[in-house]
Every structure is written in C-alpha cells, then in structure tokens.
Amino acid sequence: MNSQQPIIDFDGEAPRAHDAVIMREGDDFYLFSTGRGVSVRRSTNFQHWGSRESVLSEPPAWCEQLVPGNRGFFWAPDIAFFGGRWHLYYSVSTFGSNRSAIGLATNVTLDSQHSNYEWRDEGMVCQSHREDGWNAIDPNVLFDAQGRLWMALGSFWDGIKLRRLDEITGKLSDEDTTLHSLARRPRTPEIQGSVEAPFIVRRGEFYILFVSFDFCCRGVDSTYNIRVGRARDITGPYLDRDGTALLEGGGTLVRQSDARWRGPGHNSVFHDRNGADWLIYHAYDAENGGASRLRVEKLGWDEDGWPFVA
C-alpha cells in the first residue's frame, strides 16, 4: 500500500461493506464487516479484496436464545490480538431494539489455509435488555496506557458506554464492573439520541474517540457523519475541539456527506507499518443507487493533535 496517497483507489468497484475494520497478519490484510456470521475478505495489497466469506458458518445457539429474531446476521465487528489468539467481537441484535448482545470468537490465525485455523465460540460478552438505558452493540476493544483492556460500545438510547475487560478471558472484568458513559445526544424527535459506533485511538497523551452521528442505512438519504472528541483518561471526560463535552452532545466534525458519497460513518482506524493512519468507513454511493461501499482515506493530525481528512 502507498502511504503517500490521500485515498485508496480500488481498482474496479469498491467492496460492499458496512461497519468495517481492517487487521493485518503477516503480509495479508483482513477486512471484517457486518454480514452473515460476520463477513471477512482477504487482500495482499489493501486494494484488491477477495470474495466475501463468513467467519461463523452457523450462529452459536446462545444467539437465538438471548436475541430472538436474530438469524445469524451479525453487525459491527472489532478484532484484537492478545493472549496468543485473535479475539473477534460482534453484535447480535435486531434493528431498532436494544435487546442485544456482544459475542466473542477466537482463533490462533486469520489465515483460513493454515492447519490450525478454527474459530472457537467463546460465548456472550455482555447483553442489554429492553429496560436498560443502553444498547450492547458496536464493540471496540483496546488496551490503555497501563495495559488494561477495555471495550467501548453503544448505539442510540443513552449513548456510548465503556466497560473494563479481563485481559485473560477477553470478557467483562469482575474486578471493575463500572459502566462508564462517554458520549450521548438528546433524545428529541429529530435527533433521537443518534450517536453510535465508538472507536478509540490512543495517540500521545490523549485518547481520541470517534463516533457517528445521525442516521445510516437509508441509501442516498443517509445522514451519518463522523465526529470526534478526546480525553486524557480513557474513561473521559471527552471534549470536542470547542471544549464541549461529548456527554453534552459535542463532537468535532471529521467527515460528512459530499455530492457522491452520502452518509459516511461507522469508522475504524488502521495504522500501517509506515506510521500512516487510515480512516476506514462506509458510505452510500449516489452514482450507483445508494449502494454501501468501503471507503479508505488518509487520516492526518494537525499541530494541535486533532484528526482530519483531505
């Protein structure tokens, strides 16, 4: 991949993808996204992606038990490597409901041709119920500066939450059970509490929290846009560039719709071997019937440490 170019130019049509995250193992790249059993594609150069496959050929039995109505179509994965295994977190839900759960599958390798390749169901990590004020989807997992493992999550309702995870099991910590609040928006008829898809990057002395405002999944009428805030502690408080707390509806704009690409959102960030950062997100192509496509743009950082795209 060329770290000097401002945007990845896919030769031909960009992959269809929703809620994507990219990870590298060896010389290969792996694109995980929303899909049946969690979708995965493989690439050797970040530009040409293979056919879409499913991580989980069959949904674990617990999914239907905890979330009736889900049929194995899993949303918004995130993946991290620790303890000698890849840990893939994914969302189990139905549209418009907070009766949801986050599941976990692990593997020693991402290479499906490897003799030890086998995804192991590790069960449910956390769940939310209709009476809860939050929604257990859109997981993002990272280590803080002290080596503690955390999971950001959340969509609509009372916004973005953060939970400590156990560094051995990858599941909720019994030591620290606090549910931290990181961001929320007003639950007015117009806004409807529309904040979701957290992704946290540790950069220097700050934790940078990316979120998506407004509404996805409406084709060219989607209003998704990517916002950001930052904090010196992973638990917050997160403030935008103007000093407004994300818990008060703040968020500095990073990417919004343009004439062709509508409703950009649900981003992740990929850090390459040359030290460059890439903003990974999906947007709806107004020139192709509003189809959801993968977008990859170079992410810059200004002199004050705030992210931007060209």
Give DSSP secondary structure letters for 226-245: EEEEEESSTT---B-TTS-B
In this structure, what token pair is assigned to residue 168? 């051995």
Q: 104-108: long-range contacts at Cβ-Cβ below 8 A with a sequence spacing of 24 or more?
A: 104/170, 104/171, 105/38, 105/55, 105/56, 106/170, 108/84
Q: How many CB atoms lie within 10 A of CB 191?
A: 15
Asked if 213 contacts 198 with a C-beta cutoff of 8 angstroms, the reply is no
d(CA 254, CA 174): 36
Look up 19 and say whether it is catalytic.
Answer: yes
Segment (H or E) for 143: strand 140-143
Q: CB under 8 Å to 11, separation ≥6 — which residues?
A: 47, 48
Instruction: Give the alpha-carbon dihedral of 201, 202, 203, 204, to 10 degrees.
Output: 170
CA distances (Å), origin 28, targets 9, 31, 161, 175: 18, 10, 32, 37
Q: How many CA atoms lie within 13 A of 133 on its CB side?
A: 8
Which of 78, 122, 138, 196 is labelled catalytic? Answer: 196
At position 19, the amino acid (one-letter code) is D
Active site residue 174: no
Nearest one of 55, 19, 59, 28 to 40, comparing CA atoms: 55
- The residues assigned a catalytic role are 19, 196
